[in-house]
Amino acid sequence: MKSIKTGIAIPINLAKEFEKIMKALGYTSRSKAIRDAIQFFITIHKWSSTTGEVAGAILTLYDHEEPGVEEKLTDIQHEYLDIIASTMHVHLTENLCMQIIAIRGEVSKVKALYQGIVGIKGVKYVQPALFSVHISPE
Ligand code: NI
């Protein structure tokens, strides 16, 4: 297997958290953990480079006390009525909320919605769980 060597700048807090989780999972090689992290990134975002229809969910974590965040999240979902099947809202803590947005639609539209959600100030975390919808002939 051919490899490339690369150097990257990572904020200290992120590096510390990575190290902590890596150790908790029993990794002894940082390179191996970073390779697995890259593989994980590719796996969860693979849908974005496919074509056709994808289905699944977009999980969003946000602080509802951040001004405008709920309104913006609602507004963007009303722009994509045709690809959103339903949204579940879970109040996690006094200020933290989770939305699970169930999706089915064309990749280009899902990508636009995803990017819109990621760009909203106050949204802390967005994770897609999306898969290609293949309809087999007969
Ligand atoms: Ni809530």
pTM: 0.77
Within this chain, do residues 59 and 125 fall inside the same structural domain, yes or no?
yes
pLDDT of residue 50: 84
Asked whether residue 85 falls in the same domain as residue 126, the answer is yes
For 18, the domain range is 12-46
Q: For residues 76 and 118, state if they share a domain.
A: yes
Backbone dihedral angles phi then psi of residue 58, each to the nearest 5 degrees:
-115, 120
Measured in Å, residue 121 CA sits from the centre of ligand 1 at 16
Q: What is the pLDDT of residue 48?
A: 87
In this prediction, residue 44 carries a pLDDT of: 87
* Alpha-carbon torsion angle 61, 34, 43, 111, nearest 10: 50
* 87 touches 54 (CB < 8 A): no
pLDDT score, position 33: 96
User: How many separate domains does the chain show?
Assistant: 2
Ligand 1 mean position, distance from CA 79 (Å): 21
Phi, psi (rounded to 5 degrees) for 124: -90, -30
Residue-wise pLDDT tens for the chain (138 aa)? 788 998 999 999 999 999 999 999 999 999 999 999 999 999 888 888 888 999 999 999 999 999 999 999 999 999 999 999 999 999 999 999 999 999 999 999 999 999 999 999 999 999 999 988 875 555
Residue 138 domain-assigned (yes or no): no
The reply to whether 69 falls in a domain is yes
What's the CA-to-centroid distance between 65 and ligand 1, angstroms?
Answer: 10
> Which of 104, 80, 76, 100 lies closest to 90 in space, CA to CA?
100
Q: Write down the pLDDT at residue 132.
A: 87
Tokens 């951040």 belong to residue: 66
- Residue 120 DSSP one-character state: S
d(CA 73, ligand 1 centre) in Å: 12
> What's the pLDDT score for residue 135?
57
